[in-house]
Structure 1
Amino acid sequence: MNIKPDKPVALLLLKIALPFLLLALGMAGAWWLIAHKTEADEAKVKKVKHEPPIVTVTTAKQEVVRMDVLSQGVVLPKIEIDLVPEVSGKVVKAHPNFAPGGYFKKGELLLMVDNRDYEFAVTRAYAAVAEAHKELLREREEALQAESEWQALGNGKATDYVLHKPQLKEREAKLAAAKADLAAANLQLARCRLTAPFNGWVRDKRVLPGQYLNSGEKIAKLYADDSAEIRLPIATDQLAHLNLSPSNDGDKNFPEVHLATQLGDHLQHWYGHIVRTSSDLDDKNAMLYAIAEIRHAFKTDKSKVALMPGVFVKATIAGIERYDLLSLPKTALYGGNQVYSVDKDGRLQLHTVELLRNDKDRIIVAKGISQGEHIVVEGVDLPIAGMRVKLSNPSTQQDQTAVVAK
């Protein structure tokens, strides 16, 4: 007797076993992929070749280096004065350009004070001179008459008083005093006219026509158009780079100075010389001040614009030339005072150097590397002593070749 299986039970068993079968197959496939991927990755790793970084080097060479010193300062007129009247009175006349920024020439009338009182004084002084001269002439005549009478009637030696000698000296002295008063009155009259002592500009004024002035009152500030001066502070550690020793030739022994400032869209330049230095260090900042003079700085010509008082300028003072220093690009410096060279085996060598100057684009090295060494200037951000490198410019070294790691 044949018994047929129940179809619903078989289907149920199949549904239960199918997920486990699929899970087993999935796990087997995943294991196979992981195993073969690891082998493939290992094979790729074995084929990868680690190339050394490519660097650019420069050959260290001794060269003539001028140790210029940088400074800065404010432009000031070499000659600047306060205009001060020596007499009192009301202002009755003024120069058309007597205003801030106005230009004048030497000898031109800047201001005139009412001079009528001083003219009266001159007239009275003339009268006093005339009277004193008259009295002197009369005294001389009386002295001659006294001497004649004594010779005719006198007995013995006459005294000086009898001969009118002291009286004559008194009259001579009074005449001299009257003439001195006249000269003083004329001088006061002349001082009513305030004339320009040089060619220049009015920087400031504090007076108007019609205003009453007192003697000794500061009424304006004037400066000459000849030369400008700039006080340049110099740190003590920079003094060794400059020749600031005066010579018998005056300022001929002092260094040149290049000045620059931004005026509008253009960088303007001027040139001058150091003419003197301060006699001692400044108490506040322990700096020595060198005074630079720029001749004709306030005059405009076709090649340059004029300087103005108060302009801030940057200065480059010509330093002493040295022949035993090495100049390198700024990019060669690592860690403040370290550079790396490439040896004949293509490895980096660390050098701690003594820097004399750390400028914007270059460094000046005094000690730490030798002439002819190949110094790394770019190509590696984190160099390590002993690291192998490859040169991007191998033509810079004739007898040294960087060896590429295998």
Structure 2
Amino acid sequence: MKLNKQMITGVGGGLLALAVIVLVSAAGAKKKEAAKHENEGRMAFNNTPRPVRYETVAASPLHGRRAYPGIVKASEETALSFRVGGPLTEVNVKLGKTVKKGELLMQIDPRDFEDRIASLEAQLSGAEAVQANADQDYKRIAGLFEEKVVPQSDYDKGKSGLDSADAAVENIKVQLQIARHALKDTSLFAPYDGTVTEQLVENHEMINPGETVLRYHNIQQLEIVVNIPENEIIATPIKSKSKVSVSFPSIRSRSFEARLTEWSTQADALTRTYVAIFEMEAPEGVTVLPGMTATVEPAQADDVASVLTVPVSALVSDTRKGNAVWIYDAEQGKAQLRPVVIGALNGESRVVVVEGLVEGDQVVVTGSRLIHEQLSLETAANR
């Protein structure tokens, strides 16, 4: 009897499991059916024609003036040093002092260099005496050699002695010239009209060759260094001697004219900006010093007075190509995604398109984020 009870229990459990499987299968089928209807509904929604607005691309004026922050630099900046070493004996400079070209700034003790010159001059006198004696010997032996009184070896010896004496004289003359240059280098002169900005040594210090002792610059001509973003370089006139307006926060209600002198054609790898350097004369009546900030406003050039622009709302993001816009095809009633390169804002709601569009293109300006290339469009308006 016990065995039968177990058998009956086993049969009942199998039926229960079968019922559960049937219920699960039915639930799965219902979910699949619901998912199918949801996908069909989504596809139908996605393929429903969308009303959009588009506008025809045309050139328009470039609005607004661009202004770039800049830093003032001296047109000439020099770190001065001696070519020779020795104790400093004279300092004729003061910070901020304006000096003229050729004015003595510092002096190294010249005594050792003067002694070196005196020694070489004495050596030169001895070498020239030896040279004169060797020349007389050579002339005498050469005469005897022509008369075939002395052998070839005596002639060669006399010629060699004269050549050696000549070389010794030339060597001392070269050393003497170097020593005189070194003596001249004990004096440090102003290379141009300028101003002393920094004194790095004091009088009576021992100076090493090549050690920077002064910093010096010319602030009669100033440079304004500006970094122009890459997306705005297209609308900024880059021509030699182009004129710009420069203003300074510390000098209100005044602006000054500067000219473009240098510019880079390679963008900085980190900031993606191009360096432009403008030069101007130091303004009269006010003090402008290196390190001050300035604002540069380029003039609008005739050849960039008009640009192609689109509303900011027309831009969409293309993960493969960056910025893009939808181009409306009136014949097919569909749109095609086209990558574009954008520049700066033009006004409050439009952006300059540097590359990717031509006049006459029809750009979707509203509803662009809800369409795809296979979607049919209904144009609500042509702006």
Give the TM-score range, shorter chain.
0.5 to 0.7
1:257 aligns with 2:244: yes
Paired with 1:290 and 1:284, the residues of 2 have a C-alpha distance of 17
Specify the alignment match of 1:271 in structure 2: 257
Specify the alignment match of 1:69 in structure 2: 66
Specify the alignment match of 2:119 in structure 1: 124
Paired with 2:253 and 2:177, the residues of 1 have a C-alpha distance of 56
1:291 aligns with 2:277: yes
Q: 1:313 aligns with which of 256, 273, 294?
A: 294
Tell me how far 1:65 sits from its aligned partner: 5.9
Specify the alignment match of 1:193 in structure 2: 187
After the TM superposition, which residues 57-206 of structure 1 pair with which residues of structure 2 at under 5 Å, given as runs?
68-95=65-92, 98-152=93-147, 154=149, 158-159=152-153, 161-162=155-156, 164-206=158-200
Code of the aligned partner of 1:105: K
1:220 aligns with 2:206: no
Q: 1:235 aligns with which of 229, 254, 261?
A: 229
Specify the alignment match of 1:381 in structure 2: none
Paired with 1:244 and 1:323, the residues of 2 have a C-alpha distance of 14
Paired with 1:213 and 1:366, the residues of 2 have a C-alpha distance of 59
- From the superposition, tell whether residues 64 and 358 of structure 1 become closer, same or farther in structure 2 (CA, over 3 Å): closer
- From the superposition, tell whether residues 310 and 188 of structure 1 become closer, same or farther in structure 2 (CA, over 3 Å): same
Paired with 2:114 and 2:197, the residues of 1 have a C-alpha distance of 32
CA contact (8 A) 1:67 1:319 kept: no
Secondary structure of the residue that 1:316 maps to in structure 2?
strand
Higher radius of gyration, 1 or 2: 1
- From the superposition, tell whether residues 147 and 275 of structure 1 become closer, same or farther in structure 2 (CA, over 3 Å): same
Paired with 1:73 and 1:170, the residues of 2 have a C-alpha distance of 65
Query: CA-atom RMSD, angstroms?
Result: 3.1
Paired with 1:85 and 1:325, the residues of 2 have a C-alpha distance of 56
Deviation per residue, 1:59-82 (Å, 9 max, x gap): xxx997687432112111121111
Deviation per residue, 1:151-175 (Å, 9 max, x gap): 34527x7358536222222211111
Tell me how far 1:284 sits from its aligned partner: 0.9
Q: Normalising by the residue count of structure 2, what TM-score does the alignment of the two structures yield?
A: 0.62
Tell me how far 1:275 sits from its aligned partner: 1.1
Secondary structure of the residue that 2:249 maps to in structure 1?
strand
| Runs of 4 or more consecutive aligned structure 1 residues displaced over 4 Å after TM superposition | 62-68, 322-326, 335-338, 354-359, 362-367
Paired with 1:307 and 1:337, the residues of 2 have a C-alpha distance of 44
CA contact (8 A) 1:235 1:288 kept: yes
Counting matched residue pairs gives 265
Paired with 1:363 and 1:355, the residues of 2 have a C-alpha distance of 13
CA contact (8 A) 1:90 1:213 kept: yes
Which runs of 5 or more residues in structure 1 are unaligned? 1-61, 246-250, 327-334, 339-353, 368-406
Which runs of 5 or more residues in structure 2 are unaligned? 1-58, 315-341, 354-383
Deviation per residue, 1:290-345 (Å, 9 max, x gap): 11111x32xx52xx42320110111112232355589xxxxxxxx9879xxxxxxx
Deviation per residue, 1:362-391 (Å, 9 max, x gap): 888989xxxxxxxxxxxxxxxxxxxxxxxx
Q: Normalising by the residue count of structure 1, what TM-score does the alignment of the two structures yield?
A: 0.58
Specify the alignment match of 2:33 in structure 1: none
Secondary structure of the residue that 2:275 maps to in structure 1?
strand
CA contact (8 A) 2:138 2:155 kept: no
Report sequence identity in percent. Answer: 21
